[in-house]
Structure 1
Amino acid sequence: MSERFRAMACSDKCFRSFGIAALVLCWFSCGMFLIYPVFLLHKPAHRCRPLFNSSEKQADLAHQQKNGTSENWQNNSSCYEHSPHRNVSETCSLGWVYEMPEGHHTVVTEFDLVCDNDWLKPLVSTMLMGGMMLGSLVGGVLSDRFGRRPIFLAGVAGNLVCAILLALSYALPVIFIWVFAGGMFNIFRISSSVVLLQESAPNRHRSLLLLLQMSSFSTGSAILPVINYLFPDWRHTMYTMAFVSFCTCAPAVLVVPESQKWVATRNVNTKTTHDMPCESQTIVSSTKEKEPKNMNRKANKNPKFLMLFKRKFLFRRLLALVLAWTSSSFSFFAISYNTDHLGDNRYVSASLAAISEIVGDILLFFITRKIGYRYSYTLLTTFAGALIFTTPFVKYSNAKLGLALAICGKILVSASYSLVYVSTGDLVPTAVRNQVYGIVAFVSRMSLLSMPFFLYLGEKVYEPITYFVMTFMLIAAGLLYLILPETKGEKQPNSLYDAKQQERSRLNTQCKFGGSNENI
């Protein structure tokens, strides 16, 4: 069946359009599986469960009436139980009472991740980021080796299975395992689907389609608060997310073919191309015609992965992209995971934060049309850093104004995050495109491992700490991004020579192009 689909994709533009639409739709559930810890790890107000029995309670009430006090067993602190009658203060030995409506359950309330076990709460988020980090590295290598489509299918199936097994788990270590595995498979499908869309979309519509994919991601994030509101038990929320994932990704499994650019790259040095799909034959022919005769021989002396480190211009781009991904992803998830502390209603705060991502994608579409990718990223990160820096100080005096600043900062951060997703594939050759996505995502996920603990540190010590870190990273990444060439409206580089040609659009760059290839 897949061979028939691939043949149709080469001859039937309508069928190819269905494949692109399916890739956009599949991202609807990707957003849910990246921010679900916001609701699964919600920590409501709590107090110690009363230690004494009903007779002791009556004696306690009599003691209060005699002494004219109003303190009773309900005034136990969140981590210590206290009885004025017995004059004792001890750790909660019988568990906690959580101030949540009946039927509402989270991982925190089910496993009592409060007080002495409070550190386990950010560890759950860290396991998700760890899975995403491993998936970024492994998925990129496997996708460039075995193809985009097989890794995409593995990501869809694996993420669905992990979501169901997570909902069926009744032990915290098992939850850690499935959260980690789910994060890995979700990144498999995210990274491979981005590259599939980039390499399948027409050049003139590529940026718009990628932004639509990002908007689909944001829409799924905005729907998640509604799902959790309708299904307040965290297990039911996971079942619903798995069902939505199946419905939105099933069309992509059926109609998305393999990337013809990847097929062409794998066969560019073969002597026969008659058994290749027609689009791949065209790509191979055009690539061989425009490259210098010694280009392929020189590029193939080194493994593809090492090419990124041995070519100075590629290594320079890789460094700038790593910092851009790290700053944007850290700030994006830090604001998303901190919505519990941005407003009184977590559903409203989370919905506003998710809707702001859609606004950010719309803003990005118009601003990149005017000034391109390079200046857009610097402008977005600079203003985002300024807004984020002022948010914690304003929030202390005016909570609503602080929420508004945080949402505005989230709009700009989301736009910058979408921009690096869109532009990364335009800066590297096809042969290493998915590996580059894997490398930059892997390094950025390393910073995300510490992100939950930065939020925990801000909660326990000094809240503005996390905001200061975000501000510094965003401004530094925005300045470094200026060294990259402008790729807005340009064709994606199929070869190392194409990527080198992009250096002409760098700021203050003096490069020689033409017959000499000694710098390539």
Structure 2
Amino acid sequence: MDNENDYEAKTEFLKVWGPFQRRLSLLLAITMVPNGFTSPMGVFVADTPAHRCLVPAHRVNLTAEWRNVSIPLEEDGRPAECSRYRLDALLTYSEAGFQPSDVNLTAVPREGCLDGWEYDRSVYTSTIVSEWDLVCGQQWKKPLTLSLYFCGYLVGSFLSGQLSDRFGRKIVLFAAIAGHKLCVFLQGFSHSWVVFCVLQFLGGMCTMSSYLTAFVLCAELLSAQARLLFTTAGLCLFFALGYMLLPLHAYFLRDWRMLLLGINAPGLLLLTFWWSIPESPRWLLSQGRIAEAEDIVKRAAKSNKVEAPTKIFTPLQKDGSEKMKAYNICDLLHIRNMRWLSAVLWHVWATITMSYLAMSLNTSNLHGDAYLNCFLSAAVEIPAYIITWLMFRRFPRRLTMAGWLFSAGFFLLVNQVIQADLHWVAVSLEMMGKFCLTAAFSHVYAYSVELYPTVLRNTAMGACSMVARIGSILAPYIIYLRSYSPSLPYILMGILIAMASLLSLLLPESYGMPLPETPADMQPFAGCCRKNIYQHARTKEETQSNNNNNNT
């Protein structure tokens, strides 16, 4: 069948940005809005309300004075969350006629929350934390719950490519959308933490599958110019739009079950896109289904009001005289130049993903209104994506990447020396750090595409995505470090981001360079590989031809 270059050449009669491309881009971008809802949803669904040990009135007949002092105070003056004074001791003092002021409470023995907890309901009616008491000795379950969602990302990154190559882009896209809606719907009715976690994992797998499949489908249907705009800004902007709508829904739906059902219901409309989004003609050609591919291209031409040839594609006869070397994922480590390049990119990808998601999940811990903070965290992504797209067209990749990372690390580390009462300064620095990380996130994806050769590009991008998922799995545990020290997550993220910034300076520059076709065409990695400058294959052929002519 026709290869990729044949497809580009034989569909040149289609407009670059006609009604067909605009409609297709819009529909596929809209499928990203629910992903923006659900990925940071743990900010509200899994938030930990203020809580204290429950002192049941029906079990212990304490007076109001003794009930008010039944919870010990911590060193900072806050009520203890995981312990109370022994109720039988307090009851003994109460029945003996003592008042709390007559007793040295520090000498009264303590006990755990044997009767459960009571939660502050002023912000949330309920969360999964208050539903299943994921506090104190069970608080480890909260980061695990969030990490399982990103474990689903990891599996979805691996399976979606295999399934879409086997069954087609369109069917996998809509199967993933339907699967995600079903998982979220069932989560809203789950009455077990284990069941919720299983659905959390499956939902994450479907979310990542729909994202990657939509990305591939639109990239294969659009021309090169339209593809750059869509992949660097289009999908990301609609993801950010969904992210911005999340706090609005959460503000009016304070119960976690109602929130899940409320944000899930509109997403069912995406299933109606089945009749408007076509299959990828490139995939159909790879399967030998030439007639179906031609039918889609002709309908696109009709939508764009251009005339399509009667016969567009013809089978490609391979005589076996030329065989291209087959590459696999092992070559990312076997080839020296690519090994060092991949090692640096994997560190950068994992660090950016981990820090980005950690900062997204941390908005409920910031000073001020959690809903406003979440909205601001989403809103800063809009200009970040737009600026990244503009800078990607005109500025060097390597220095831009290092600059975004350095700025993000700087804001996070400086935030720790701000006085505790300057809350608005701390929140502003947090948002500026999130802005820089978002820009770096968008930048590294397109930058990596330019660094890897064509024969390994898809495999390499899949490997980067898999490593990034490891960073996302660790993100909830980075926030969990707040239980030891509020500054610890920021210091750790700041150091890792600073390391990524320095390492990114070792990456080769790709701005203005043609895409490498084979590993031999790649830019040399600084300090460890060949020293001759990069030459594209055609340029090398011209140079050799000129040398032969000079010798003659």
What TM-score, normalized by structure 2, do the two folds share? 0.77
Give the C-alpha shift of residue 397 in structure 1. 4.6
Q: Which residue of 2 aligns with 1:443?
A: 467
Equivalent-residue separation in structure 2 for 1:146 and 1:237 (angstroms): 34
Equivalent-residue separation in structure 2 for 1:370 and 1:412 (angstroms): 18
Q: Which residue of 1 aligns with 2:83?
A: 80
Give the C-alpha shift of residue 113 in structure 1. 0.8
Structure exhibiting the larger radius of gyration computed from Cα positions: 2
Equivalent-residue separation in structure 1 for 2:124 and 2:409 (angstroms): 40
Give the C-alpha shift of residue 186 in structure 1. 0.5
Q: Deviations along 1:453-496, whole A, 9 cap, x unmatched? A: 22212x22223322233223323333433455555577877xx4
Task: Give the gaps of 5 or more residues in structure 2.
Answer: 1-10, 74-78, 93-107, 299-308, 542-552
State which of 191, 195, 199 in structure 2 corresponds to 1:178.
199
Give the C-alpha shift of residue 98 in structure 1. 0.8
Q: Which residue of 2 aligns with 1:322?
A: 346
Equivalent-residue separation in structure 2 for 1:441 and 1:433 (angstroms): 12
The question of 1:30 aligning with 2:35 is answered yes
Decide which moves more: 110-119 or 193-202: 193-202
**Structure 1 pair 220/122, CA: closer, same or farther in 2 (3 Å)?**
same
SS at match of 1:56: coil
Q: Which residue of 2 aligns with 1:462?
A: 485
State which of 49, 61, 76 in structure 2 corresponds to 1:56.
61
Q: Which residue of 2 aligns with 1:20?
A: 25
SS at match of 2:257: helix
**Counterpart of 1:461 in structure 2: which amino acid?**
Y
State which of 71, 75, 85 in structure 1 corresponds to 2:69.
71
Q: Which residue of 2 aligns with 1:351?
A: 375
Give the C-alpha shift of residue 21 in structure 1. 1.3
State which of 45, 48, 53 in structure 2 corresponds to 1:43.
48
State which of 378, 390, 397 in structure 2 corresponds to 1:373.
397
Q: Deviations along 1:402-452, whole A, 9 cap, x unmatched? A: 111000000000111112233444444667555433322221222332322
State which of 110, 118, 122 in structure 1 corresponds to 2:143.
122
- Kept in 2: contact 1:163–1:239 (CA 8 A): yes
Equivalent-residue separation in structure 2 for 1:484 and 1:144 (angstroms): 31
Q: How large is the Cα RMSD of the aligned pairs?
A: 3.8
Equivalent-residue separation in structure 1 for 2:160 and 2:313 (angstroms): 25
**Structure 1 pair 191/465, CA: closer, same or farther in 2 (3 Å)?**
same
SS at match of 1:47: strand
Alignment length (residue pairs): 488
The question of 1:237 aligning with 2:242 is answered no
Q: Which residue of 2 aligns with 1:142?
A: 163
SS at match of 2:111: strand
Q: Deviations along 1:363-382, whole A, 9 cap, x unmatched? A: 21333233143322111011
- Kept in 2: contact 1:144–1:435 (CA 8 A): no
Give the C-alpha shift of residue 85 in structure 1. 4.8
**Counterpart of 1:408 in structure 2: which amino acid?**
M
Decide which moves more: 255-264 or 326-335: 255-264
State which of 444, 460, 465 in structure 2 corresponds to 1:420.
444
Give the C-alpha shift of residue 311 in structure 1. 4.8
Equivalent-residue separation in structure 1 for 2:167 and 2:125 (angstroms): 44
Q: After superposition, where does 1:188-207 map in structure 2 within 5 Å?
A: 188-207=209-228
State which of 204, 219, 239 in structure 2 corresponds to 1:217.
239
The question of 1:98 aligning with 2:119 is answered yes
**Structure 1 pair 283/325, CA: closer, same or farther in 2 (3 Å)?**
farther
Q: Which residue of 2 aligns with 1:67?
A: none
**Counterpart of 2:324 in structure 1: which amino acid?**
K
SS at match of 1:338: helix
Give the C-alpha shift of residue 149 in structure 1. 2.8
Equivalent-residue separation in structure 2 for 1:150 and 1:492 (angstroms): 31
- Kept in 2: contact 1:320–1:481 (CA 8 A): yes
Equivalent-residue separation in structure 1 for 2:237 and 2:20 (angstroms): 23
Give the C-alpha shift of residue 126 in structure 1. 1.3
- Kept in 1: contact 2:395–2:511 (CA 8 A): no
Give the C-alpha shift of residue 393 in structure 1. 2.8
Q: Which residue of 2 aligns with 1:382?
A: 406
Q: After superposition, where does 1:488-499 map in structure 2 within 5 Å?
A: 496-497=517-518
**Counterpart of 1:130 in structure 2: which amino acid?**
C
Equivalent-residue separation in structure 1 for 2:138 and 2:292 (angstroms): 60
Equivalent-residue separation in structure 2 for 1:113 and 1:353 (angstroms): 26
Give the C-alpha shift of residue 163 in structure 1. 0.8
Equivalent-residue separation in structure 2 for 1:344 and 1:455 (angstroms): 18
- Kept in 2: contact 1:203–1:489 (CA 8 A): no
**Counterpart of 2:477 in structure 1: which amino acid?**
F
Q: Deviations along 1:225-278, whole A, 9 cap, x unmatched? A: 11111111111111122223223x3354333333344555x37xx9x9788549
Q: Which residue of 1 aligns with 2:324?
A: 298
- Kept in 2: contact 1:262–1:430 (CA 8 A): no
